[in-house]
Amino acid sequence: MPAPRFYCPPPLPSGAHCELPPEAAHHASRVLRLRVGDAVQIFDGLGNALDATLHAISGKHVSLGNLQTCMTTAASGLHIVLAQAMCSSEKMDWVVQKATELGVAEIIPIQTQRSVAKLAPSRADKRAQHWHNVSVAACEQCGRNDLPQLHAPQVFQEWVSAQRGASGGKFILLPGGAGGLRTQSRPQGSVMLLIGPEGGFTADEANVAQQSGFVPILLGPRVMRTETAAVAGIAALQTIWGDFA
């Protein structure tokens, strides 16, 4: 069974011992009920990790010893950027979680005309921290040492127009798309996947995206929910050009 993993904000300790951050310490001692001598792993979200053993438990404090550099990595070699139209809180959490597990490098929430969720500026920081926590938990579970970059929410028209000169592959999931991903040549550099909201993109939004270089694609003949489309699209990218192959 893999050793429990805990996120520790960078930099990782360089000495022989360290203490787990308060939340990680609570999870280790109170939830997982680990004991002295148990093997664990800590990572910094930047791609670095250390193997360790639980050295001592004292109240709310948990210390680790026998720190050794961990050379294994679960980072994806394909740089995937997921531009996800804002959806309801539970669905957005699910998308962030699964995108992290599937190896996405960047996640960009997009406010579209038909987005059900409308994020007020006053709540943006709180929601960003929540998504960060969701991503951290996903990394702890899946063995990934690098956290995806979570961008601030963007307005569709402004963001898409700014991508006009962006390099790499740019794809938008649309009914009536030109074809599947297998009909496309492997992009040089990153791959951007644009997913619409529950009600789909408006005709104007679809036109603006295509004028900015986004290629319309299909993921089979069925109409998917927005959260399903995101996961299916990422998995397809990883299967064709990424580390599922």
Is the pLDDT at 1 greater than 80? The verdict is no
Is the pLDDT at 37 greater than 80? The verdict is yes
Residue 52, CB-side half-sphere exposure with 13 Å CA sphere: 30
What's the pLDDT at 116? 77
What's the pLDDT at 124? 81
Region 175-202 average pLDDT? 90
Residues of the chain with CATH 3.40.1280.10: 80-240
More confident residue, 154 or 15: 154
Judge contact between 139 and 49, C-beta under 8 A: no
- Find residue 41's DSSP bridge partners: 5, 51
pLDDT in tens, 55-101: 999 989 999 999 999 988 888 999 999 999 999 889 999 999 999 99
pLDDT in tens, 93-148: 999 999 999 999 999 999 999 987 777 777 888 999 999 999 999 999 999 999 99
pLDDT in tens, 200-215: 999 999 999 999 999 9
Residues of the chain with CATH 2.40.240.20: 5-69
Closest CA to 110 of 95, 97, 122, 98: 95
Question: For the structural domain made of 80-240, what CATH number should be given?
Answer: 3.40.1280.10
Q: What is the DSSP string of 52-91?
A: EEEEEEETTEEEEEEEEE-------SS-EEEEEE---HHH
Is the pLDDT at 176 greater than 80? The verdict is no
Angle between helices 226-240 and 89-101 (to 10 degrees): 10
153 CB neighbour count, 10 Å cutoff: 18
Report the DSSP pairing between strands 17-19 and 61-69. antiparallel
What's the pLDDT at 218? 92
pTM strictly above 0.85:
yes
Tokens of 199: 């009600």
What's the pLDDT at 123? 80
Within its chain, how far is the Cα of 24 from the centroid? 20
More confident residue, 130 or 17: 130
What's the pLDDT at 72? 82
Tokens of 15: 């000495």
Judge contact between 184 and 217, C-beta under 8 A: yes
Judge contact between 103 and 80, C-beta under 8 A: yes
Closest CA to 145 of 34, 243, 12, 26: 12
Tokens of 220: 């089979």
Superfamily of domain 5-69: Hypothetical PUA domain-like; domain 1 (2.40.240.20)
